[in-house]
Amino acid sequence: MAQRYDAGEVITAMVTPFNKDFSIDFTGLEKLVKHLINNGSDTLLVAATTGESPTLTLDEEMELLKFVKGVVGTKAKIIMSTGSNCTETAVEQSKRVAQAGGADAILSVVPYYNKPSQSGLINHFTQIAQSVDLPVLLYNIPGRTGINMLPETIATIAEKNPNVFGVKQSNGDLDQVSEIILNCPQDFTVLSGDDSLTLPMLSLGARGVVSVASHIIGKEIKQMIRLFKLGKVNEAAALHASFYPTFKKIFMAPNPVPIKAALNKLGFISDTVRNPLVTLTETEKEELFKVLHI
């Protein structure tokens, strides 16, 4: 059997820039994409939570995919978020993305709000995986979905569906990371969904990170991962320690509000977010920029 898909070590969960009237800022998006592919990102994740997917229309998501692909070309890979808490919707959007072209893989989140059983999750993701030829990345984030996808569930999905190449694991449970790696096929990829847990998860066998901090310190995160894999653990740990305050502070408010504020300060895009999210106060911005040294 062919080796499963490899998304690389640093996957940036990219923000969606908006103009002041809340329309998509494609000028800012082009500037941001070029910055990311030149600063450590192996792959760009489009229209996921950091990209404010809850407030994007399906047509806007497809516009984003087409535009980002046009800018990226072959310089980086693209993963498109197609998840939904409705299996039929997730399948249809996955098919739409596959037919449109431009995406190298898709991301599908654990269904939120309706809280399916573990067998329901196996059924949900199997239907999605079998509906397309694209590689599929699972996304486990109990804090947003209300349920935790168990290691044995992930293993069952991976064994049944060879195009399910990995999981973005965002529940903070390092024991669960170990159990996923022990139970899943050897070529299955575990990615940290939390910047601050990247190094600890690497030590357990994770491949890399789906990062928010890589918008501003992508090269540094890439260097930390490379150092660890070269056996220079103390140097990797020193980098982790130096950027740990940044990893935590960019989540001082609901994501992607703080990272958009940082990108605005650095001159890339507006800090505009769509309702119901709101921008940081001036006091909060000062607090953020002090920690980020910008």
Instruction: Examine the residue annotation and report whether 113 is marked as an active-site residue of this protein.
Output: no
CA 42 to chain centre: 12
Which pair of structure tokens corresponds to residue 108? 């599908």
- Is residue 55 one of the residues assigned to a domain? yes
Instruction: Examine the residue annotation and report whether 244 is marked as an active-site residue of this protein.
Output: no
What CATH number does residue 129 fall under? Answer: 3.20.20.70
- Half-sphere exposure (CA, 13 Å, Cβ side) for 83? 26
Which pair of structure tokens corresponds to residue 55? 């407030």
- Domain that includes residue 36, residue range: 10-239
**Given 77, 168, 222, 260, which residue is catalytic?**
168
- Is residue 43 one of the residues assigned to a domain? yes
How do residues 243-258 score in pLDDT, each as one tens digit?
A: 999 999 999 999 999 9
Per-residue pLDDT band for 49 (boundaries 50, 70, 90) equals very high
| Contact yes or no for 102/117 (Cβ under 8 A) | no
- Is residue 235 one of the residues assigned to a domain? yes
The predicted structure's pLDDT at residue 246: 98
- Is residue 224 one of the residues assigned to a domain? yes
CA 69 to chain centre: 17
- Is residue 260 one of the residues assigned to a domain? no
**Given 5, 139, 222, 249, which residue is catalytic?**
139
- Is residue 67 one of the residues assigned to a domain? yes
- Is residue 3 one of the residues assigned to a domain? no
Residue 85: closest CA among 61, 64, 65, 111: 111
- What mean pLDDT is reported for the chain? 97
Q: Evaluate if residue 2 carries a pLDDT over 80.
A: no
Q: How many domains does the chain have?
A: 1
Which pair of structure tokens corresponds to residue 45? 């994740």
Global confidence as pTM:
0.97
How do residues 261-271 score in pLDDT, each as one tens digit?
A: 999 999 999 99
- Is residue 290 one of the residues assigned to a domain? no
